[in-house]
Amino acid sequence: MKITGARVIVCCPGRNFVTLKLETDAGLTGLGDASLNGRELAVASYLTEHVVPLLIGRDASRIEDTWQYLYRGAYWRRGPVTMSAIAAVDTALWDIKAKAAGMPLYQLLGGASRERVLVYAHANGRDIAETVDEVHRHAALGYRAIRAQSGVPGLDKVYGVATDRKPYEPATKGLPLEQDWDSSRYLRHAPKLFEAVRDAIGWDYELLHDVHHRLTPIEAARLGKDLEPYRLFWMEDATPAENQEAFRLIRQHTTTPLAVGEIFNTVWDCKDLIQHQLIDFIRTTVVHAGGITHLRRIADLAALYQVRTGSHGATDLSPVCMGAALHFDLWVPNFGIQEHMPHNEATDEVFPHAYRYEAGFMHPGEAPGHGVEIDEKLAANYPYDRAYLPVNRLQRDGALWDW
Ligand code: CS2
Ligand code: MG
């Protein structure tokens, strides 16, 4: 079976998505997500200008060879743009292979290891009371695991807290939004949030929290310690991880489980963290970490050290990524949890899908392939609309800080 066509479709049904569609001489098509929030067109052009010409005429069944060809062959390795482009090709090829076999993708990976995929929801509010309300609302929707974020007294805008109570904030039109930050205010506030949430919801729910890279290692260590009484499922992205050793310091001080990896692209970004057992959950996902082929490599390394998966699943990843991730989650033996933020209605219409949510869990469905398609006509009604992620500045002196 040969690849006869490859097209990049960019659309914006609320958020910007980049989708690669492969066609074959057998009449089968496959889809891969290549969305990189705020830098979408870099991946689109990497694909169109440099990858698509290499794909035409290739054997669609040679997924591994194509992965190696694009990774080693480029000479310039790793990085979010390269790895998202490779991921899109890889995901589309797995989609085609599973369709050719007449099977849902998880069957090709080795079959289901579980009946359903545990997902966590997002609860956020401008203050603690509002966040507690949101936690209750998500519990009523059936979620067993809930991430809680709240505004911080004295700070204008904080990551994870949507403006106008919209479900999701990152990426706005015009210049990047400037948020302000003060680690001391945040460090005083976060334990109070979890004390209130535990008081309100009790102990039958898993609670999660995202620090979004904003603390230094020693501050992260202190937060982990202060949150211990509330038994979090994880504390996410406590500090930036370019220096993987930084996590050793956090680890020495706290038993709060640590998650990281939504911005990682390859196993090399995770390697030290996993091998030295400095983390508990690895959050790499299909679209930004080289597709199913590479994610499987990361998960297998993690399994050796009892590190479990917890794939990124924000709404800036398209339903194509979500579908593929859910097949992966249903199979992967060392599964931990999957992030779930429902897409808006327009996105769900543009990307009809077989996956479904039910009472705190998801399932990828039984459609052959990964079960996600694109309505190209509808997609054409939503042209690309440039948007940027916010930047973060210290309240004290306006210096640029981590976001
Ligand atoms: C996040 C994301 O879901 C998460 O945990 O940290 O919201 C992240 O900020 C966005 O995906 C960035 O595009
Ligand atoms: Mg995050």
Query: Are residues 236 and 328 located together in one domain of the fold?
Result: yes
Among 395, 391, 379, 396, CA closest to 14: 379
62 Cβ contact partners less than 8 Å away, ≥ 6 residues apart: none
Query: Are residues 348 and 246 located together in one domain of the fold?
Result: yes
Q: Tell me which residue range forms the domain holding 84.
A: 3-104
Q: Of 59, 88, 104, which one is at a domain's C-terminal end?
A: 104
Q: DSSP string spanning 34-97? A: ---TT-HHHHHHIIIIIIHHHHTT-BTT-HHHHHHHHHHHTSS--SHHHHHHHHHHHHHHHHHH
Q: Are 288 and 264 in contact (CB under 8 A)?
A: yes
Query: Are residues 222 and 269 located together in one domain of the fold?
Result: yes
Domain count, the chain: 2
Q: Are 120 and 146 in contact (CB under 8 A)?
A: yes
The residue whose CA has the least distance to atom 13 of ligand 1 is: 37
Beta bridge partners, 230, equal: none
216, part of any domain: yes
Determine the Cα–Cα distance for residues 169 and 366; give it in Å rounded to an integer.
32
Query: Are residues 118 and 168 located together in one domain of the fold?
Result: yes
Query: Are residues 115 and 99 located together in one domain of the fold?
Result: no
Query: Are residues 134 and 100 located together in one domain of the fold?
Result: no
355, part of any domain: yes
128, part of any domain: yes
380, part of any domain: no
Query: Are residues 191 and 160 located together in one domain of the fold?
Result: yes
Beta bridge partners, 117, equal: 362
9, part of any domain: yes
The residue whose CA has the least distance to atom 9 of ligand 1 is: 170
Query: Are residues 78 and 131 located together in one domain of the fold?
Result: no
CATH number, domain of 27, equals: 3.30.390.10
Query: Are residues 14 and 140 located together in one domain of the fold?
Result: no
78, part of any domain: yes
Q: Of 104, 132, 148, which one is at a domain's C-terminal end?
A: 104
Determine the Cα–Cα distance for residues 52 and 8; give it in Å rounded to an integer.
9
402, part of any domain: no
342 Cβ contact partners less than 8 Å away, ≥ 6 residues apart: 167, 315, 357
Query: Are residues 170 and 283 located together in one domain of the fold?
Result: yes
pLDDT at res. 393: 96
**Centroid of ligand 2 to alpha carbon of 159 (angstroms):** 9
377, part of any domain: no
Q: Kindly state the DSSP code that residue 165 receives in the 8-state scheme.
A: G
Query: Are residues 82 and 138 located together in one domain of the fold?
Result: no
CATH number, domain of 224, equals: 3.20.20.120
- Ligand 1 and 212: CB distance under 6 A: yes
**SS3 of 138, please?**
helix
Query: Are residues 131 and 266 located together in one domain of the fold?
Result: yes
- Length of the chain counted residue by residue: 403
Q: Of 86, 104, 122, which one is at a domain's C-terminal end?
A: 104
- Ligand 1 and 262: CB distance under 6 A: yes
Among 31, 27, 25, 30, CA closest to 3: 25
Tens-digit pLDDT string for the chain (403 aa): 999 999 999 999 999 999 999 999 999 999 999 999 999 999 999 999 999 999 999 999 999 999 999 999 999 999 999 999 999 999 999 999 999 999 999 999 999 999 999 999 999 999 999 999 999 999 999 999 999 999 999 998 887 787 666 666 678 888 998 989 999 999 999 999 999 999 999 999 999 999 999 999 999 999 999 999 999 999 999 999 999 999 999 999 999 999 999 999 999 999 999 999 999 999 999 999 999 999 999 999 999 999 999 999 999 999 999 999 999 999 999 999 999 999 999 999 999 999 999 999 999 999 999 999 999 999 999 999 999 999 999 999 999 999 9
**Centroid of ligand 1 to alpha carbon of 293 (angstroms):** 23
